[in-house]
């Protein structure tokens, strides 16, 4: 049985230690919490009856408590004996030759959690450390907690949930796991010259492709079967999306047979050209040549973690900003956004089909195809449209979530935060055009965290076939073999993690959808947003073209690593010398017009236009927290205002006899987390618990400045954090 009342079904206690101290403050131990450290088959849990000092609000997670860490989120388990001056990074099935006085958990979500065993029994302390190390390094996917969870919760149930929500619960997220989902997408985008292909049913052609996908009408199934063997992993080209002009966005793996490359490429390109109304030639974009690879992205994240978690945090210091730039994470975010803009230019301005080329078509193409659709298609900027986009371009297209998240911690070379990089790119777009997105940055943050809660099939497997194979298991009973189905939950079923109240934090009060309501002459009406005919250039007038574009010239290569000031100076000098290209003119024209939030969106791309995603990367850093400040204060006021408008419109509908929600039930049906009061002329004051980290709290995470001179600081200063276990094992302080 579960060890606590509200623990997930299937969770069991593996080991525990009493009289453990969780370090809360680095300045002193008076604020530390005493309790029991528990390792289960799902998480590391700290059970205490003490309360945190200066308690701050947190989103209440239905699977994880305030002091819980999912085992899949644990990056490294470090044991320390500060008396003997020893420390060791523990892996699975390793021995520990000394009694630990301290345990430090480095987490993939940038947390550092520290426990002390001063009063705990030495053997129980050692056993709980070894248990955490062992269970955070499962040897097989079926040892991940997701299998226990779905086995207990979903076995024998039918129709409980579909597409991530309860049946009849309203709009659903499209999963693209059946032919009808693809048919609807073809009709939605007007791709009349494309059709659903079923030759991969049963994963007969390619193990990493979905059973259903879209191909040109002019390509017969027999031809596709013949060409499949020439592509890497038999991955036939996949249709992603159609522009309103008829230009298609297609993703394709490399052709493995050089002798057949020219013939097969011509045949595929010819079929795509025939699908275009103007028979335009195809433009090929080689992602492997123009974008950083997965190892580059992983190296950048490791450096970013070091900067955000270990190094002294002073955002105003040039040294910290220089270190941030040297990590190259922001540079890579900008590079992916810029490449997506170039693809948009080909589709939007040149009106030609585009093929995204990548060796295996399972990493970089996922990012670019999604960013292009987010920039061009307002449907993808709605909540369900965005989730459907991830289903289509990541989950069903075979992104290796199991390997890239390194859930089994078997191969560090395969680990890469490609999906997190994508979310950062989305956040940059959101940050520049917040009213164009239905969701908030809180939603993007918890979506990134959902990768480390290993119960969702969304982020648990490498491809659709692996999901299908692991959804069935054999049970032998009374000499009869039965195949029983496991119904894995999807990440889009947010009720698994959050209450309906907390889910309203996902709703953006600024969002401008296709159709919005207004009150005109006492009547509730709807209006559709249209682009104004006026021509504005605002603050961009008078600047060099490339600066107005937010884009640099082609000579601005990926390898440049000079400082921000020098970068801007060199940009200015280059811009004056270079003649404006057609793509730069396209971008300049876009920024010379008022933005249509239900139309095309292009990001500003100069380094000064991009920001650090603080809510994700710096939420656990106490020094970076702004009490009663940050974007949340504006979010609070906008939410209250939006709720007040909704309340008044509802009252007007009731007055006109057009229905509406009774006043006493308005709060229950409100889409806003922060609600208006019953007396609109007295708006509610911002809650005291608001801070720039809301709804997360940095309390209880390792603070750095106060530990200088301590044995722990000597360890941290000398440690190569988040490198291989072999590199760090058995080093001394």
Report pLDDT digits (tens) over 342-388: 999 999 999 999 999 999 999 999 999 999 999 999 999 999 999 99
pLDDT at 541 over 60: no
pLDDT at 704 over 60: no
Q: Which of 194-203, 503-512, 536-545 has the lowest mean pLDDT?
A: 536-545
Task: Tell me the mean pLDDT in the region 671-692.
Answer: 79
3-class secondary-structure state, position 637: helix
pLDDT at 414 over 70: yes
**Gap between the terminal Cα atoms of the chain:** 41
Whole-number Å distance between alpha carbons of 603 and 375? 8
Task: Tell me the mean pLDDT in the region 117-126.
Answer: 94
Q: What per-residue confidence (pLDDT) applies to 108?
A: 94
Q: What per-residue confidence (pLDDT) applies to 572?
A: 52
pLDDT top residue among 625 and 304: 304
Q: What per-residue confidence (pLDDT) applies to 544?
A: 37
| Mean pLDDT, the chain, integer | 82
Helix (H) or strand (E) holding 355: strand 354-358
Task: Tell me the mean pLDDT in the region 551-558.
Answer: 41
Q: Provide the pLDDT confidence category of residue 537 given band limits of 50, 70 and 90.
A: very low
Mean pLDDT comparison of 41-55, 308-322, 420-434, highest-scoring range = 420-434
Show the DSSP H helices in 433-481 as ranges: 441-449, 464-469
Q: Which of 93-107, 260-274, 304-318 has the lowest mean pLDDT?
A: 304-318
Residue spans per domain, the chain: 13-139, 179-292+328-518
Does the annotation list 290 as a binding residue? no
pLDDT at 472 over 70: no
Q: What per-residue confidence (pLDDT) applies to 625?
A: 85
Q: What per-residue confidence (pLDDT) applies to 91?
A: 87
Question: Where in 574-656 does DSSP place strands (E)?
Answer: none
Whole-number Å distance between alpha carbons of 353 and 343? 10
pLDDT at 212 over 90: yes
Task: Tell me the mean pLDDT in the region 251-266.
Answer: 92
| Count of other CB atoms within 10 angstroms of residue 66 | 14
Cβ distance 459 to 395 under 8 Å? no
Q: Provide the pLDDT confidence category of residue 60 given band limits of 50, 70 and 90.
A: confident
Whole-number Å distance between alpha carbons of 606 and 578? 17
Whole-number Å distance between alpha carbons of 384 and 397? 18
Q: What per-residue confidence (pLDDT) applies to 6?
A: 59
**pLDDT per position as a tens digit, 645-676:** 988 888 888 888 766 666 656 666 788 999 88
3-class secondary-structure state, position 261: helix
pLDDT at 88 over 80: yes
Cβ distance 59 to 500 under 8 Å? no
Q: What per-residue confidence (pLDDT) applies to 352?
A: 97
Task: Tell me the mean pLDDT in the region 180-202.
Answer: 97
Task: Tell me the mean pLDDT in the region 270-283.
Answer: 96
Place of tokens 């927290």: 625
Whole-number Å distance between alpha carbons of 513 and 596? 11
Whole-number Å distance between alpha carbons of 494 and 726? 38
Residue 448, C-beta contacts closer than 8 angstroms, at least 6 positions apart: 109, 419, 420, 423, 616
Task: Tell me the mean pLDDT in the region 202-231.
Answer: 95
Q: What per-residue confidence (pLDDT) applies to 321?
A: 83
Q: What per-residue confidence (pLDDT) applies to 270?
A: 96
Q: What per-residue confidence (pLDDT) applies to 548?
A: 36
Whole-number Å distance between alpha carbons of 371 and 549? 18
| Count of other CB atoms within 10 angstroms of residue 580 | 15
Q: What per-residue confidence (pLDDT) applies to 530?
A: 43
CATH of domain 13-139: 2.30.29.30
Strand partners, 15: 39
CA distances from 520 to 243, 491, 527, 658 (A): 35, 41, 11, 15
Residue 75 buriedness (CB in 10 A; 0-12 / 13-18 / 19+): buried
Task: Tell me the mean pLDDT in the region 513-537.
Answer: 45
Q: Are strands 213-216 and 194-197 parallel, antiparallel or unpaired?
A: antiparallel
| Listed residue (490, 516, 494) closest to 505, CA to CA | 494
Does the annotation list 293 as a binding residue? yes
CA 139 to chain centre: 25
Residue 227, C-beta contacts closer than 8 angstroms, at least 6 positions apart: 236, 264, 267, 268
pLDDT at 559 over 50: no
pLDDT at 341 over 90: yes
**pLDDT per position as a tens digit, 561-612:** 444 444 555 555 555 446 788 999 999 999 999 999 999 999 999 988 999 9
Whole-number Å distance between alpha carbons of 389 and 240? 10
Q: Provide the pLDDT confidence category of residue 706 given band limits of 50, 70 and 90.
A: very low
Q: What per-residue confidence (pLDDT) applies to 149?
A: 84
Q: What per-residue confidence (pLDDT) applies to 649?
A: 87
Q: Which of 151-165, 166-180, 186-200, 296-310 has the lowest mean pLDDT?
A: 151-165
Q: Are strands 112-116 and 480-485 parallel, antiparallel or unpaired?
A: unpaired
Q: What per-residue confidence (pLDDT) applies to 257?
A: 85
3-class secondary-structure state, position 657: coil
Cβ distance 76 to 722 under 8 Å? yes
Q: What per-residue confidence (pLDDT) applies to 224?
A: 95
pLDDT at 402 over 90: yes
């Amino acid at each position: 049985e579960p060890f606590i009342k509200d623990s997930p079904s299937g969770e069991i206690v593996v080991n525990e230690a009493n009289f453990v101290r969780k370090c809360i403050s680095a300045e002193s131990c008076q604020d530390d919490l005493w309790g029991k450290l528990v390792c289960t088959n799902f998480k590391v849990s700290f059970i205490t009856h003490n309360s945190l000092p200066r308690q701050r609000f947190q989103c209440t997670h239905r699977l994880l408590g305030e002091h819980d860490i999912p085992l899949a989120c644990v990056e490294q388990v470090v044991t320390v004996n500060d008396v003997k001056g020893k420390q060791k990074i523990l892996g699975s099935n390793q021995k520990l030759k000394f009694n630990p006085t301290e345990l430090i958990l480095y987490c993939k979500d940038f947390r550092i959690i520290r426990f002390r065993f001063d009063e705990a029994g030495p053997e129980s302390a050692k056993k709980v450390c070894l248990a955490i190390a062992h269970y955070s390094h499962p040897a097989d996917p079926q040892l991940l907690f997701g299998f226990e969870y779905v086995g207990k919760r979903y076995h024998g149930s039918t129709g409980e949930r579909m597409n991530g929500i309860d049946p009849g619960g309203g709009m659903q997220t499209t999963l693209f796991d059946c032919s009808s989902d693809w048919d609807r997408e073809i009709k939605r985008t007007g791709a009349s010259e494309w059709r659903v292909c079923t030759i991969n049913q049963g994963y007969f052609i390619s193990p990493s492709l979905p059973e259903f996908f879209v191909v040109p009408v002019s390509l017969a199934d027999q031809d596709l079967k013949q060409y499949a063997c020439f592509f890497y992993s038999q991955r036939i080209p996949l249709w992603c999306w159609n522009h309103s002009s008829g230009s298609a966005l297609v993703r394709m793996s490399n052709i493995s047979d050089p002798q057949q490359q020219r013939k097969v490429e011509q045949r595929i390109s010819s079929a795509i050209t025939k699908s275009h109304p103007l028979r335009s030639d195809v433009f090929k974009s080689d992602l492997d040549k123009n974008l950083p690879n997965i190892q580059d992205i992983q190296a950048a994240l490791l450096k970013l973690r070091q900067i955000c978690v270990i190094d002294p945090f002073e955002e105003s210091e040039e040294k910290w900003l220089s270190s941030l730039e040297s990590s190259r994470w922001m540079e890579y975010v900008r590079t992916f956004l810029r490449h997506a803009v170039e693809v948009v230019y080909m589709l939007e301005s040149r009106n030609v089909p585009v093929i995204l080329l990548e060796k295996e078509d399972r990493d970089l193409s996922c990012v670019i195809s999604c960013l292009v659709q987010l920039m061009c298609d307002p449907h993808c900027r709605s909540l369900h449209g965005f989730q459907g986009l991830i289903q289509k371009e990541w989950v069903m297209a075979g992104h290796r979530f199991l390997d890239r998240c390194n859930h089994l911690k078997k191969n560090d070379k395969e680990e890469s935060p490609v999906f997190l990089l994508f979310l950062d790119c989305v956040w940059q777009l959101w940050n520049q055009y917040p009213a164009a997105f239905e969701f908030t940055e809180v939603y993007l943050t918890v979506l990134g965290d959902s990768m480390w809660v290993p119960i969702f099939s969304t982020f648990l497997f490498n491809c659709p076939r692996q999901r299908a194979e692991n959804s069935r298991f054999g049970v032998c009973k009374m000499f009869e073999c039965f195949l029983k189905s496991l119904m894995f939950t999807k990440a889009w079923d947010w009720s698994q993690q959050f209450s309906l109240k907390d889910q309203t934090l996902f709703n953006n009060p600024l969002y401008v959808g296709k159709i919005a309501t207004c009150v005109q002459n006492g009547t509730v009406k709807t209006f559709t947003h249209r682009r104004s005919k006026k021509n504005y250039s605002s603050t961009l007038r008078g600047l060099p073209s490339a600066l107005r574009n937010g884009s640099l010239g082609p000579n601005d290569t990926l390898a440049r690593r000079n400082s921000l000031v020098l970068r801007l100076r060199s940009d200015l000098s280059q811009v004056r010398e270079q003649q404006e290209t057609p793509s730069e003119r396209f971008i300049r024209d876009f920024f010379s017009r008022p933005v249509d939030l239900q139309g095309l969106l292009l990001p500003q791309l100069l380094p000064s236009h991009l920001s650090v995603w603080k809510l994700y990367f710096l939420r656990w850093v106490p020094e970076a927290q702004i009490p009663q400040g940050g974007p949340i204060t504006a979010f609070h006021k906008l939410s209250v205002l939006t709720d007040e408008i909704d309340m008044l419109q509802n009252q007007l509908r009731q007055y006109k006899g057009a229905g509406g929600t009774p006043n006493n039930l308005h709060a229950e049906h409100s889409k806003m987390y922060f609600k208006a009061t019953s007396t609109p002329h007295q708006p509610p004051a911002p809650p005291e618990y608001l801070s720039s980290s809301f709804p997360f709290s940095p309390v209880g995470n390792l603070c750095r400045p106060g530990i200088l001179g301590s044995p722990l600081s000597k360890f941290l200063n000398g440690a190569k954090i988040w490198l291989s276990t072999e590199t760090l094992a058995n080093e001394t302080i």
